[in-house]
Chains A and B, each alone.
Chain A
Amino acid sequence: NAGVMQNPRHLVRRRGQEARLRCSPMKGHSHVYWYRQLPEEGLKFMVYLQKENIIDESGMPKERFSAEFPKEGPSILRIQQVVRGDSAAYFCASSPTPPGIYGYTFGSGTRLTVV
C-alpha cells in the first residue's frame, strides 16, 4: 500500500520556465492538500482539492499558481514563469475524508530550485 507519491523529488527550473509538480494520493484518499515550506519557515497551506473540485485555495498566490485534481490521474500543482522566490519544498498530503484526529498523510515533497 504505497503512501503519498510525489514526483519529481527534485526539480530545477530557470527563471521564467514552468514547474509542474505531481502528487498521487494514497489509495482510497480523495482529499488532497498542497503545502509549501520556504527556507527557515513552517508549512504554509496552499490549496485543498477533492476530485475535480477546488475546495479551498485561500493559500494560493493569486498569479502564476494553479492546481488541479482530475477524475483520473494525479493532482498537479503548476507554477508558471517561476521566480527565485518560488524555491521551496512543496508537500502534498491526502486523507480519505476531511481530516480528523489522524490528520493527513504527507508525501516526501518536491524540492524546487529556481536558478
Chain B
Amino acid sequence: DQQVKQNSPSLSVQEGRISILNCDYTNSMFDYFLWYKKYPAEGPTFLISISSIKDKNEDGRFTVFLNKSAKHLSLHIVPSQPGDSAVYFCAARNTGNQFYFGTGTSLTVIP
C-alpha cells in the first residue's frame, strides 16, 4: 500500500518558469513532510520540509505548500534552473519515526 503518491513520473519545464511537483498522501497521522532531490548515482539530499501544523514554508526559490484537508503537498520552484533537473521525492513521517517515500518525479528544466 502506497501511503505517499507522486502521480506524475516526469515533468518538463522551460528555464525561468515555475515547476510544480505534486504529492498526495493517505495517512492523516503524518506529522512532517519533506522533499528530497536526487541526482543519478547519488543518494537523495534534503531540500525543504514542512510541519503538519503549517501550510507553507519557503526557502529561496523553493516553496512547499501543504493542504491537510486534501492530503496534498506541492513543491514550487521558481524560477526553474537547468541545475534543478533531478528526481524529486516527497516523503512523510509517521509516529514510528520512519519516512514513507513517493515514487519520485523526474524534473527536466530545458535551457
Contacts and interface: CB of A to CB of B under 8 A. Distances in A.
Interface in A1-60: 4, 6, 31, 33, 35, 41-45, 48, 55-56
Contacts of B89: 42-43
Contacts of B93: 99-100, 103
A91 B98 contact: no
A73 interface: no
Nearest to B97: A98
Most buried by A among B44, B91, B93, B103: B44
A1 to B, nearest CB: 15
B48 to A, nearest CB: 10
Contacts of B104: 42
B43 A107 contact: yes
A102 B46 contact: yes
B96 A35 contact: no
Contacts, number: 67
Nearest to A95: B97
A35 B101 contact: yes
Interface residues of A, number: 27
Given A4-B43, A41-B103, A91-B44, A101 B98 contact: no
A33 B103 contact: no
B43 A103 contact: no
A80 interface: no
Contacts of B99: 45, 99, 103-104
Nearest to B96: A56
A106 B32 contact: no
A81 interface: no
A33 B36 contact: no
A67 to B, nearest CB: 13
